[in-house]
Amino acid sequence: MQKSKPRIYHVTEYGADPTGKADSTKAIRKAVADACAATTGQWLIAGVNNLGGAEVHLDGGLYLIDAPITLPAGSGNIKIHGGSLRASDDFPTDRYLIELSASPNVSSQTNTTIGDGAASSSYNYEYVTLRGLLLDANYRGGGITVVDGLRTVIDDCYIVHFASEAVSVLSGHETLIRASFIGQHITAGGDPGEKNFSGTGISLAGNDNIVTDVVIFSAGVGILVSGQANIFTGVHCYNKATGFGGTGIYLKLPGLTQTRITNCYLDYTGIVAEDPVQLLISSSFFLGDANVVLKSINGVAKGVEIVDNMFAGGDSGIDIVALEGNFTDVDQVNVNRNTAKGMTVRGTAARAAVHGNGTRWEVDFSPVLLFPDRIGNVQYALQSDTAFCRHALRTVSGNAVVIESDVAVQGTVHVEVNQAPANGVIERVKLGHAVACSPHSDVAKSDSILAPTGKLRSEARVAQLGQQIPRKLPASRSFFAAISLSLPLPDCGSAEASITSLSDPRVDLTPQLGRTSLSFPLPELYCPIVLATDLTPQPLFVRMFGPSSTSHCSFLKLTTAGKYEITTVGYVQDSK
């Protein structure tokens, strides 16, 4: 058949009906087949033909189809554009209007996850562009599916009336979805049938995809993500309100999501992230009590940044960031610098000031901190209106901080706390034979650690550590250093050291030490302590306590070769 232009295939020249009255499936399929058969002899990625920019032009028509328009595997550098497709009443309910799939029996891929996150070892398509299309699925199936595609572009599309997904991406790599409008029902918000919205706007079960400038105006779930390293920018979701059971963006794959959500608009529908790892949510706007929910599957939250967002609600007491379930493995979670109107601000950092007259100041940060009982770092200052006094941080428990002074004074205590990093964070600085370790870690079983187990500072870095290494130790002997205490040592002139075996705490080794009483200035927060003994090398449990105080601090220590060195390091600075 004569073509009007080289490599431009007009579907009307193949007999397609642009009025939408007659079925045009065969005509459009023939145009696509011819476009994909006209190879150039050039290749893109292995196995994919470079079709030279061939175009299948829909000529601005509306076409009725009763079966999917499928591109054959091995197609690349081709574009379908410029018209509308509508599913007939006979269209199969488990298929998509346009399918980039080597399988003839592609079905809905909602909730499909990929194994270890690696892209498919083989790609069936590369650089296929779908542009300027209106796709009406007639509540029969989905809009577009891309399976094992590489660098696919879905641009300037309007996809409606889908029963499953508007766009489904399975495996593959680098699909761009941009400047498009997606909705199961055509509405501009406030739809009386919103409670019944279903389906998914975009389902991404692949890696490294980018969604930009997309509006999802009706669906049960706006975007379902079960792949890794995806980017969302400029997305506006008002698909279904959270109050009706909807979700704007749902990060389904537990762990290793590596998702970045920036400059998005969550309109009465929020974000849910299961076991998030390396998740960034920033510079976005949440309206109508929409919020971020971190959902525990295995209790993991690591490398999470939720910062610089705006929230607006209806004074219903909704938290801007909420936890669903218990998180036990938390590391580098930073929820900070968010603003809210009519919602409760929660984060991982907070500050407060308490004014009073006495010897004890208590600040409870529970109403504003995200995680329960997980303060990792405390900084405070006492501003006295009357006299100088000695003061110290006494306890940190249940997200409450207690400051005490040795005499009653009138003044103000300014306290700043941070929950990141939290349990399990290990910071090591090796200088010669020195190793620094954060407290609360589970690495006391290793052979190179001194792991405090009390209420200790968990965010610090060691500076000038070399100045603390005793010169008397041979260079070949190991030396271990622990981060300094957050709790003060007892306010007394000396402290005792009770030494027991780590393997059997009932065995008291104190009498075998050369000394049990240590003199050092108190109430200093950072006091170097050194104990030495010629006992047979074995792990020790060290407890320091004062006769006039109930506060104490504990350490676990693994031995050096022939001698014990049990040390708290004084040269410590807070991490910023």
Instruction: Please state the rounded mean pLDDT for residues 321-334.
Output: 96
Domains held by the chain: number = 3
Element holding 29 (H helix, E strand): helix 25-37
Tell me the pLDDT tens digit for each residue of 506-521: 444 444 433 333 333 3
- Is 519 domain-assigned? yes
Neighbours of 547 (CB within 10 A): 9
Find tokens 């537990």 and name the residue. Answer: 254
List of residues 6+ apart from 297 with CB closer than 8 A: 254, 274, 275, 325
pLDDT at 499 over 90: no
CA atoms within 13 A on the CB side of 233: 6
Residues 401 and 501 in one domain: no
Hey, what are 205's tokens?
């079960």
The partner residues of 413 in beta bridges, in order of sequence, read: 354, 382
Give the type of residue at 569.
Answer: V
Q: In which region does residue 113 sit, left (phi positive, over 0), alpha (psi from -120 to 50) or beta (all else)?
A: beta
- Is 251 domain-assigned? no
- Is 513 domain-assigned? yes
Mean pLDDT of all residues in the chain? 76
Residue in 48, 50, 170, 44 with CA at minimum distance from that of residue 119: 170
Range of 353's domain? 349-418
Task: Answer with the one of 160, 187, 211 that is the final residue of a domain.
Answer: 211
> Among residues of the chain, what percentage have pLDDT more than 90?
61
CA atoms within 13 A on the CB side of 356: 14
In 58-105, beta strands by DSSP E: 62-65, 69-71, 75-87, 96-100
Instruction: Please state the rounded mean pLDDT for residues 127-140.
Output: 99
Task: Answer with the one of 161, 179, 211 that is the final residue of a domain.
Answer: 211
Most confident of 39-53, 112-126, 332-346, 523-537: 332-346
pLDDT at 457 over 50: no
Task: Please state whether the peptide bond connecting residue 421 to the residue before it is cis, i.e. omega within 30 degrees of 0.
Answer: yes
Residues 432 and 404 in one domain: no
247 φ/ψ angles, rounded to the nearest 5 degrees? -140, 135
Which CATH number covers residue 103? 2.160.20.10
pLDDT at 473 over 80: no
- Is 379 domain-assigned? yes
pLDDT at 495 over 50: no
Residues 19 and 81 in one domain: yes
Residues 501 and 410 in one domain: no
pLDDT at 179 over 90: yes
Give the type of residue at 483.
Answer: I
Q: Give the pLDDT of residue 434.
A: 25
* Distance, CA of 5 to CA of 291 (rounded, Å): 52
Tell me the pLDDT tens digit for each residue of 255-264: 568 999 999 9
Element holding 323 (H helix, E strand): strand 321-324
List of residues 6+ apart from 130 with CB closer than 8 A: 79, 80, 81, 98, 144, 152, 153, 154, 155, 157
pLDDT at 168 over 60: yes
Residues 511 and 572 in one domain: yes
Residues 54 and 193 in one domain: yes
- Is 82 domain-assigned? yes
Instruction: Please state the rounded mean pLDDT for residues 554-568.
Output: 35
* Distance, CA of 46 to CA of 126 (rounded, Å): 10
Task: Answer with the one of 375, 401, 418 that is the final residue of a domain.
Answer: 418
Residues 434 and 414 in one domain: no
Residues 63 and 167 in one domain: yes
Residues 410 and 431 in one domain: no
- Is 67 domain-assigned? yes
Q: Give the pLDDT of residue 239.
A: 98
Tell me the pLDDT tens digit for each residue of 83-110: 999 999 999 999 999 999 987 554 444 4
Query: What is the reported pTM?
Result: 0.72
Tell me the pLDDT tens digit for each residue of 386-437: 778 888 998 899 899 999 998 999 989 999 999 975 443 333 322 222 222 2
Residues 412 and 452 in one domain: no
Residues 435 and 410 in one domain: no
Length of the chain, please?
Answer: 576
- Is 280 domain-assigned? no
- Is 254 domain-assigned? no
Residues 391 and 531 in one domain: no
